[in-house]
Amino acid sequence: MSISRETAINLVLALLLLAVPFIAMQLGKPFYVTLATRMAILGLAAIGLNIALGLGGLVSFGHAAFFGIGGYAAGILASHAFSGQPLDFGLFAVPGSKLMPVIWAVAILAGGLLAAAIGSISLRTSGVYFIMITLAFAQMTYYFAISWPAYGGEDGLSITIRNTFPGVNTLVPQNYFLICYALLVVGLVLFAVLRDSRFGAALQASRQNEVRVASVGIAPFRIKLAAFVISGMITALAGALYADLNRFVSPSMLSWHMSGEFIVLIILGGVGRLCGPLAGAMLFVMFEYILGGLTERWQFFLGLLLLGVVLFARGGLIGLLAGRARHG
């Protein structure tokens, strides 16, 4: 079996991102490590969305809710660990934590629960209604976070010192990049495995023809819900990483602009493609950084660029480089 063109491009992209921090340190530009970390995290968040959107055809305009809940999981646990006060749930109390694996587990769990709740209502609808009802749920969490004073409201929540990972000094930017990169790779592998599994086949089939899937004895609702929950979990994990990168979490992680940005990342890179989200994140962060440094009107030119991509580069960056998708 020969390596397809898309696989080769995926490998190049992944290696390119891995190389950035090392080149940056050689050049004495440590800030590029932060940029690369941001690319990896946003890429991971978009991989989560890509499971729902790319494989299942579920255009969620509310994934910021999962991103934000992951971020708040990190922020809240860290703040309780810092203050030494346990989280009080009324019946029982749990201590905070500064351990990343614990925080990630909590973020994934919280994201999954929220996705199960949102999904079980939203998946009764389809098409534009689905886009809008997911947006509505994300808006609810946004306004809730803004007006909930316990964890900072609109001011957000600072994480004084980045959380820890056993055996690794996470304060060193390169180390934190490698942690995020490793999780990005896990996300990519998970996406590939899911896509090629029976579950993935049923999910993609349900996108194309729901009736036929139902007629062979698979419940499309449960498959879609499962995909939506997995999708929410991955995006929540990315949210926890993002909070630790910024050492800060705020309701703006929950805003509809964020949801829009995830969709933008996927389309920029290529919908349903394995490395589409990663390519999109790399492009987007690069655009934002370069344009932001050039002109204060950068949003205008960012808009023009995005418009150019959607009008003239169908299939996104990967589509442009690798040709038509398998299920184009």
Query: Would you tell me which residues interact with other proteins (CB under 8 A)?
Result: 29-31, 34-35, 38, 53, 59, 61, 121-122, 124-129, 131-133, 135-137, 139-140, 143-144, 146-149, 152-156, 158, 160-161, 242, 246-248, 250, 252-253, 256, 260, 263-264, 267, 271, 292-293, 296-300, 302-307, 309-311, 314
* Distances, alpha carbon 76 to alpha carbons 24, 148, 160, 253, in Å: 33, 13, 12, 15
Q: C-beta of 203: minimal distance to other proteins in Å? A: 17
Nearest to other proteins of 152, 200 (CB atom): 152
Which tokens sit at 198?
């029976």
Cβ atoms of 68 and 242 closer than 8 Å: no
Cβ atoms of 237 and 107 closer than 8 Å: yes
**Residue written as token pair 């690369």:** 36
Q: C-beta of 264: minimal distance to other proteins in Å? A: 6
Q: C-beta of 170: minimal distance to other proteins in Å? A: 14
Cα-Cα end-to-end distance for the chain: 22
Say which amino acid occupies 32: Y
Nearest to other proteins of 15, 291 (CB atom): 291
**Does residue 172 sit in helix, strand or coil?**
coil
Nearest to other proteins of 186, 210 (CB atom): 210
Cβ atoms of 216 and 52 closer than 8 Å: no
Which tokens sit at 296?
């204060």
Residue 278 to residue 283: CA distance in whole angstroms: 9
78 Ramachandran zone, left/alpha/beta (phi>0; psi -120 to 50): alpha
Q: C-beta of 156: minimal distance to other proteins in Å? A: 6
Q: C-beta of 3: minimal distance to other proteins in Å? A: 29
Nearest to other proteins of 22, 300 (CB atom): 300
Nearest to other proteins of 85, 299 (CB atom): 299
Nearest to other proteins of 22, 129 (CB atom): 129
Q: C-beta of 22: minimal distance to other proteins in Å? A: 16
Say which amino acid occupies 318: I
Q: C-beta of 11: minimal distance to other proteins in Å? A: 26
* Distances, alpha carbon 187 to alpha carbons 55, 191, 239, 272, 277, in Å: 15, 6, 14, 14, 11
Nearest to other proteins of 132, 189 (CB atom): 132
